[in-house]
C-alpha cells in the first residue's frame, strides 16, 4: 500500500461515519415505498463512499480494490454504532450488493435458508454474517486483503449488535428504537406491534393513537397486539416478563366507552406463566369490541394525567396532587403537599400542548371530545402510557 492509499483509508473512516449518520425524516414510517426509499438512501451512501475511496485506487492492486469496498462499508457501520448502537443494514446490504452482486446473491440464498430456522434478530444477523464470510472464502480464497477486511467488517457488525443488546439489558426502562429495517428478522414479524401503522378499527383506539405517537418519535413503550386465536406463546416469548421487567396486559377497545371500567383493567405479569394466565383471563372477560395489548412496565417515579380544562388552562395530576398550569407556565397547587418538581409539571403541560397542536383536531373528530394523556416519568423522561377521551 502507498502513503496515498493509507491516507485515503483514514479519510474514508473519518468521512464515512458522517455520511452514515444521515437519515431521512421519514425513515420511521412503515410502508413498501418507504422501504424502497431507505434502500435507495443506502445505495447513495455506499456510492458516495465508493467514489471517495476510488480516488485512491488508481495505482492499487486488484486485490486491494475489492478490499477497499469493505473499508468503505466499515466506515458506514462505525457511524451507526456511534450514533445509536445499531448497524444501518440498508446501507450494508446495498453496498455489499454493489461491491459483488454474485457474492451478495449467494450469501442471500444461504442466509435465507438459515434465517428460516431462527426467529430472533441476533441469530438472523449471525447467519447473514457467516454466509457473507463463507461465500467470500469460497470465491476469493487467495485474496488475503479482501478476506481480512471482510472478516473485520463482520466482526464490527457483530460487535455493534452485541453492544446494542447489552445497552437494552442494562436499561431500566423500555427502549424506543426504530427497527423497521429488521422486520424480516424479527420474531414479531407476524404480530401487530405499536411500531406498525394500525387503525382504530384494527387494534382499538388506544393502540392506534399510541402507535401513531411512537412512530412519530414520542416516548411510548413497545407494545404487542393480541387477538382471539393468536399464538400466545409468540407474544410471551417477545415480552419475556421477569420480576425486574414485568409485562402489563391491558385492553385496547375498538369503540370508545370511557364509562366501561373494564377498559381500565390491567394485569401485571412477572413470568411466562403469569403472562399466559393473564392473557387467558383477559380474553375470558373481554368483549368482541376489545383486543389485548401487552407492554413492558415503566417503573415510574412520578405518574399521573394531564388534560386541557379550557384554552390556556391545563390541569396536571400526579398521584394525589393537582396542579393548574397557565399558558405562561405559572403553576398553582390545589393541595398542601407539593412533591412534584415544577420542571416536570411544566414539561407535562408542554407535552399536552404540543400534542394538541399536532393532533388535537384529528383526535377530537375521532373521539368526539377532547382528550387526556396518562403519563409516567421514570427519572429520565416522560412516557406516554395512554390517550383517552374526556
**Gap between the Cα atoms of 187 and 224, Å rounded:** 12
Which residue is listed with cell 478476506?
A: 147
* Whether residue 16 sits in one domain with residue 162: yes
Residue 189 is assigned to a structural domain of this protein: no
Supply the DSSP string of 66-119, one letter for each residue.
HHHHHHHHHHHHHHHHHHHS---HHHHHHHHHHH-HHHHHHHHHHHHHHHTT--
Do both 329 and 344 map to the same domain?
yes
For residue 230, tell me if it sits in a domain. yes
Residue 188 lies in a domain: no
Look at residue 383 in the predicted model and tell me its pLDDT.
96
Helix (H, G, I), strand (E, B), or coil: what is residue 256? coil
Spatial contact of 373 and 316, defined as CB atoms under 8 Å apart: no
- The residue out of 266, 281, 296 marking a domain boundary is 296
**Do 71 and 14 form a contact (C-beta atoms < 8 A)?**
no
- Tell me how crowded residue 338 is: count the other CB atoms within 10 A of its CB: 12
Nearest to 63 by CA among 150, 155, 157: 150
Q: How far is it, in rounded angstroms, from Cα 19 to Cα 111?
A: 27
Give residue 36's pLDDT: 42
Are both 176 and 269 inside the same structural domain? no
Q: Quick one: 345 and 377 in the same domain?
A: yes
- Domain annotation covers residue 195: no
Answer left, alpha or beta for residue 127, where phi above 0 means left and psi between -120 and 50 means alpha: alpha
Look-up of cell digits 454504532 = 81
**Whether residue 150 sits in one domain with residue 36:** yes
Domain with 379, as residue range(s), is: 302-389
Last residue of a domain, one of 296, 324, 341: 296
- 281: its cell numbers: 383471563
Q: Indicate if 13 and 92 belong to the same structural domain.
A: yes
Q: Pick the last residue of a domain from 274, 296, 318.
A: 296
DSSP at 380: S
194 occurs within a structural domain: no
Is residue 381 in a domain?
Answer: yes
Identify whether residues 53 and 127 lie together within a single domain.
yes
Instruction: State the Cα–Cα distance between residues 295 and 18, nearest whole angstrom.
Output: 35
* Beta carbons of 355 and 349 less than 8 angstroms apart: no
pLDDT at 137: 92
Closest to 326 in 3D by CA, of 305, 349, 301: 349
Cα Rg for the chain, rounded, in angstroms? 25
Q: What local confidence, expressed as pLDDT, does residue 366 receive?
A: 78
Residue 90 lies in a domain: yes
Print pLDDT tens along the chain (390 aa). 555 555 555 555 555 555 544 454 444 444 434 444 444 544 555 555 555 555 555 455 566 667 777 777 776 676 655 544 455 566 677 777 777 888 888 888 887 776 666 555 667 778 888 888 999 999 998 888 889 988 988 888 888 777 766 655 444 444 433 343 444 444 445 688 898 888 888 888 889 899 999 988 899 999 999 988 888 888 998 899 999 999 999 988 765 554 455 567 899 999 999 999 999 988 886 665 678 999 999 999 999 999 988 887 899 999 888 888 887 778 876 655 678 898 999 999 999 999 988 888 888 777 777 789 999 999 999 999 998 877
Domain-located, residue 193: no
**Burial (0-12, 13-18, 19+ Cβ within 10 Å), 220:** buried
Q: Long-range CB contacts (< 8 A, 24+ apart) of 320-325?
A: 325/349
Question: 216 and 133: one domain?
Answer: no
Cα distance between residue 211 and residue 176, in whole Å: 12
Please tell me whether residues 90 and 173 are part of one structural domain.
yes
pLDDT for the residue 268: 95
User: By three-state DSSP, how is residue 390 classified?
Assistant: coil
Can you tell me the distance from the alpha carbon of 341 to that of 328, in angstroms, rounded to the nearest whole number? 17
Quick one: 284 and 349 in the same domain?
Answer: no
> What is the per-residue DSSP string for 153-179?
HHHHHHHHHHHHHHHHHH-SS------
Distance between CA atoms of residues 150 and 148, nearest Å: 6
**Which residues, 6 or more positions from 223, have their beta carbon under 8 angstroms from its beta carbon?**
193, 194, 207, 210, 211, 293, 294, 295
**How many other C-beta atoms can be found within 10 angstroms of the C-beta atom of residue 277?**
14
Angle between helix 144-170 and 121-139 (nearest 10):
170
Report the pLDDT value the prediction gives residue 279, as an integer from 0 to 100: 92
Instruction: Give dist(CA 309, CA 354) in Å, integer.
Output: 16
Q: Are residues 259 and 143 in the same domain?
A: no
Please count the structural domains in the chain. Answer: 3
Same domain assignment for residues 268 and 144: no
Amino acid at each position: 500500500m502507498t502513503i496515498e492509499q493509507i491516507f485515503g483509508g483514514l479519510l474514508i473512516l473519518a468521512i464515512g461515519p458522517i455520511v452514515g449518520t444521515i437519515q431521512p425524516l421519514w425513515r420511521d414510517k412503515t410502508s413498501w415505498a418507504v422501504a424502497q426509499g431507505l434502500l435507495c438512501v443506502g445505495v447513495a451512501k455506499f456510492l458516495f463512499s465508493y467514489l471517495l475511496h476510488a480516488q485512491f485506487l488508481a495505482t492499487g492492486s486488484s486485490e486491494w480494490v475489492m478490499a477497499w469496498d469493505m473499508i468503505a462499508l466499515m466506515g458506514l457501520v462505525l457511524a451507526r454504532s456511534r450514533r445509536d448502537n445499531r448497524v444501518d443494514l440498508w446501507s450494508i446490504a446495498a453496498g455489499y450488493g454493489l461491491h459483488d452482486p454474485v457474492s451478495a446473491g449467494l450469501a442471500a440464498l444461504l442466509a435465507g435458508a438459515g434465517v428460516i430456522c431462527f426467529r430472533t434478530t441476533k441469530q438472523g444477523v449471525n447467519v447473514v454474517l457467516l454466509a457473507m464470510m463463507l461465500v467470500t472464502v469460497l470465491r476469493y480464497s487467495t485474496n488475503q486483503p479482501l478476506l481480512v477486511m471482510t472478516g473485520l467488517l463482520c466482526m464490527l457488525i457483530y460487535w455493534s449488535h452485541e453492544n446494542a443488546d447489552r445497552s437494552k439489558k442494562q436499561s431500566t426502562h423500555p427502549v424506543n428504537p426504530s427497527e423497521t429495517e429488521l422486520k424480516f428478522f424479527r420474531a414479531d414479524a407476524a404480530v401487530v406491534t405499536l411500531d406498525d401503522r394500525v387503525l382504530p378499527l384494527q387494534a382499538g383506539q388506544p393502540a392506534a393513537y399510541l402507535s401513531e405517537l411512537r412512530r412519530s418519535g414520542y416516548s411510548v413503550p413497545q407494545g404487542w397486539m393480541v387477538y382471539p386465536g393468536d399464538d400466545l406463546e409468540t407474544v410471551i416469548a417477545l415480552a419475556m416478563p421477569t420480576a425486574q421487567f414485568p409485562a402489563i396486559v391491558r385492553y385496547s377497545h375498538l369503540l370508545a366507552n370511557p364509562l366501561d371500567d373494564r377498559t381500565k383493567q390491567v394485569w401485571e405479569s412477572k413470568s411466562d406463566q403469569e403472562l399466559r394466565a393473564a392473557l387467558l383471563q383477559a380474553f375470558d372477560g373481554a368483549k368482541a369490541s376489545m383486543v389485548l395489548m401487552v407492554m413492558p412496565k415503566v417503573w415510574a417515579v412520578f405518574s399521573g394525567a394531564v388534560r386541557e380544562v379550557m384554552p390556556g388552562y391545563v390541569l396536571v395530576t400526579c398521584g394525589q396532587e393537582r396542579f393548574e398550569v397557565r399558558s405562561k407556565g405559572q403553576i398553582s397547587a390545589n393541595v398542601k403537599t407539593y412533591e412534584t418538581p415544577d420542571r416536570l409539571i411544566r414539561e407535562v403541560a408542554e407535552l399536552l400542548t404540543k400534542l394538541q397542536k399536532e393532533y388535537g383536531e384529528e383526535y377530537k373528530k375521532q373521539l368526539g371530545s377532547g382528550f387526556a394523556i396518562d403519563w409516567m416519568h421514570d427519572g429520565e423522561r416522560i412516557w406516554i402510557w395512554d390517550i383517552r377521551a374526556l
